[in-house]
Amino acid sequence: MFHEECGVFGVSGSRAAARLTYLGLYALQHRGQESAGIVTWDGETAFQHRAMGLVSHVFNEEILDRLPGDIAIGHVRYSTTGQSQLINAQPLIVRFQGGQLAAAHNGNLVDSDSLRSRLEAKGSIFRTTTDTETILHLIARAYAARPTAGPDAIPEILGEALAGVEGAYSILFMLDGKLVAVRDPRGYRPLCFGRLASGGWAVASESCALDIVGAEHERYVEPGEILVLDESGAHSHRLAPAGGPRSFCIFEYIYFSRPDSVLRGASVDGVRRALGRALAREHPADADIVFSVPDSSNAAAMGYAEASGIPLEIGLIRNHYIGRTFIHPKQSIRDLRVRIKYNPVEETIRGQRVVVVDDSIVRGTTSRELMRIIRKAGAKEIHLRVASPPIRFPCFYGIDTPTREELVAASNEIEEIARFIGVDSLGYLSFDGLLSSVPNPRDAYCVACFDGSYPHECAYRENRSKTTGSDTP
Ligand code: SF4
């Protein structure tokens, strides 16, 4: 699979800030499983705890007791820029002229290498290998230019620091005793906020995390908005003028976000069902049963079954307790993990012509292993249906994707992919089918991994060394 990026959660105005943030991170665990961290502020001092591992392993009662204060920001991480090491775990926290500054970042800057080089040339030193640290440096520099700036100057200073920073960032800052949420002008990654029953604020990558703490969903942080959340309210400022071009990551609907989240006013579950219905209309199959590759394809399989009239069954059981397959980078171990992760229900599959619905195909190696397992369980025919178009380009906006060469659809026709994966037929949802299933308009989305139309031209150029494909979109 594509690997998720990160999840952020923050609280302002609650004495239970650390505990609420812990719960919020629990709900966002699907967005990153490598490390987790929380930073709190008690009005005078910042407290932090970060460690490698899942939220449930990183925190316990005793640790949460050591995180006092009524402001907190938290982060779950899957590394996209910077290695998977504790030093890169977030939130990052630094001391500088303006006091203490902490940041939790979801996304990826497309110009982080050149930004870092420019800062290093001016004498900056870095502790981590993350792109987030470059943002901290830019903020510190903006403060240095205004040594007497107080909390009222936060929006202006952030605007100055982030002007010219290209790429995807939904960031929570703890700065000058305030919780501040900022979303890049194109709004690649989601970010929403709501009111806690106690009167404080919660801000989260996805609405499912607001639900878990009982926060009433207020609205989305707008692309290009700086939102300062404090006891006097939610104060909105602009980083960039409203109404500019948007590039919300369409993959949030297809795979990344939890189905119980609401994005841009549409339920993720509802969109996935619509994708499945469109897929059934575009690629019908003469088959006996439909089942999903659980869990991210469940809703699409339901949509396919509904539109095709083919009975929906449970054909694969997923073991939820083994972590994600990407934890081990070596292919041989990944294949083994596929076998550990999914077990076929032989009684359901034996002798049947089956439609298997998956949300996407990246390298094709996981699909091939899965289809082999299903064939071995006695499937008479396998018709694989994919609820998104072929992925032909890597992502530079906070999603860990393989090189272009490794993407099976980058250099193979559909029939070749079907042969490689070992299925009787293969059908991908069309681009139009995808766009007709998400809230409009088309130009609100980033779809670069399907068609190479990167919103930032520099994304492809700057990261070309990461790809081995020769096409220039
Ligand atoms: S390239 Fe694909 S995964 Fe990356 S932001 Fe764009 S739509 Fe999302």
- Whichever domain contains 123, its CATH number is 3.60.20.10
Q: Are residues 89 and 220 in the same domain?
A: yes
What does pTM read for this prediction?
0.92
Ligand 1 within 6 A of CB of 448: yes
Ligand 1 within 6 A of CB of 396: no
Helix, strand, or coil here: 431? helix
Ligand 1 within 6 A of CB of 102: no
Residue 250 Cα to ligand 1 middle (Å): 7
Q: Are residues 152 and 276 in the same domain?
A: no
Ligand 1 within 6 A of CB of 397: yes
Helix, strand, or coil here: 78? coil
Ligand 1 within 6 A of CB of 395: yes
Confidence tier at 176 by pLDDT (50, 70, 90): confident
> pLDDT higher for 336 or 56?
56
Residue 401 Cα to ligand 1 middle (Å): 10
Give the structural domain span for 196: 6-246
Q: Are residues 310 and 187 in the same domain?
A: no
* Residue 450 CA, closest ligand 1 atom number: 2
Ligand 1 within 6 A of CB of 248: no
Residue 6 is a catalytic residue: yes
Cis bond before residue 111 (omega within 30° of 0): no
Mean pLDDT over residues 430-436, rounded? 97
Q: Are residues 37 and 172 in the same domain?
A: yes
Please choose from 2, 252, 431, 449 the residue to mutate so as to test ligand 1's pocket, defined by most ligand atoms within 8 A of CB: 449
Tell me the pLDDT tens digit for each residue of 229-250: 999 999 999 998 888 999 999 9
Q: Are residues 194 and 314 in the same domain?
A: no
**How many other CB atoms are found less than 10 A from the CB of residue 139?**
23
Q: Are residues 238 and 386 in the same domain?
A: no
Tell me the pLDDT tens digit for each residue of 111-153: 888 889 999 999 999 999 888 999 999 999 999 888 888 888 9
The whole-number pLDDT of residue 468 equals: 33
**CATH code assigned at 368:** 3.40.50.2020
How far is Cα 88 from Cα 82, in angstroms, rounded to an integer?
7
Tell me the pLDDT tens digit for each residue of 295-322: 999 999 999 999 999 999 999 999 877 6
At 151, list the tokens.
Answer: 């909390």
Name 80's Cβ contacts closer than 8 Å, sequence gap at least 6.
Answer: 3, 5, 6, 108, 398, 399, 400
Nearest-CA residue for ligand 1 atom 4 is 395
Ligand 1 within 6 A of CB of 447: yes
| Residue listed under structure tokens 């081990």 | 328
CA 466 to chain CA centroid, Å, is 20
Highest mean pLDDT among 88-97, 234-243, 428-437: 428-437
Is residue 265 over pLDDT 50?
yes
Residue 247 Cα to ligand 1 middle (Å): 9
Residue 449 Cα to ligand 1 middle (Å): 5
Residue 456 lies in a domain: no
Ligand 1 within 6 A of CB of 251: yes
> What percentage of the chain reaches a pLDDT higher than 70?
91
Residue 33 lies in a domain: yes
Selection from 200, 192, 236, 197 nearest residue 217 by Cα: 192
Residue 446 Cα to ligand 1 middle (Å): 6
Show the CA angle centred on residue 459, arms to residues 109 and 34, nearest 5°.
45
For residues 151 and 74, the answer to whether their CB atoms sit within 8 Å is no
Residue 469 Cα to ligand 1 middle (Å): 17
At 11, list the tokens.
Answer: 């609280």
Ligand 1 within 6 A of CB of 449: yes
How far is Cα 14 from Cα 234, in angstroms, rounded to an integer?
15
Q: Are residues 239 and 280 in the same domain?
A: no
Highest mean pLDDT among 133-137, 398-402, 465-469: 133-137
Q: Are residues 212 and 315 in the same domain?
A: no
Residue 465 lies in a domain: no
Helix, strand, or coil here: 149? coil
Residue 143 lies in a domain: yes
The whole-number pLDDT of residue 452 equals: 92
Out of 6, 208, 249, 446, pick the active-site residue. 6
Please choose from 108, 166, 250, 391 the residue to mutate so as to test ligand 1's pocket, defined by most ligand atoms within 8 A of CB: 250
Nearest-CA residue for ligand 1 atom 8 is 249
3-state SS string for 364-413? CHHHHHHHHHHHHCCCCEEEEEECCCCCCCCCCCCCECCCHHHCHHHHCC
* Residue 393 CA, closest ligand 1 atom number: 1
Tell me the pLDDT tens digit for each residue of 283-293: 999 999 999 99
Nearest-CA residue for ligand 1 atom 2 is 449
Please choose from 170, 257, 396, 399 the residue to mutate so as to test ligand 1's pocket, defined by most ligand atoms within 8 A of CB: 399
Residue 471 lies in a domain: no
Mean pLDDT over residues 265-282, rounded? 97
Q: Are residues 48 and 187 in the same domain?
A: yes
Residue 184 lies in a domain: yes
Quote the number of domains for the chain.
2
How far is Cα 28 from Cα 32, in angstroms, rounded to an integer?
8
Confidence tier at 79 by pLDDT (50, 70, 90): low
Side chain identity at residue 366, one-letter code: T
Is residue 424 over pLDDT 60?
yes
Name 23's Cβ contacts closer than 8 Å, sequence gap at least 6.
Answer: 212, 213
Q: Are residues 130 and 241 in the same domain?
A: yes
Residue 448 lies in a domain: no
Residue 459 lies in a domain: no
Ligand 1 within 6 A of CB of 249: yes
Q: Are residues 300 and 191 in the same domain?
A: no
Residue 209 Cα to ligand 1 middle (Å): 22
Q: What's the mean pLDDT when you consider all of the chain?
A: 90
How far is Cα 334 from Cα 362, in angstroms, rounded to an integer?
14
Q: Are residues 88 and 168 in the same domain?
A: yes
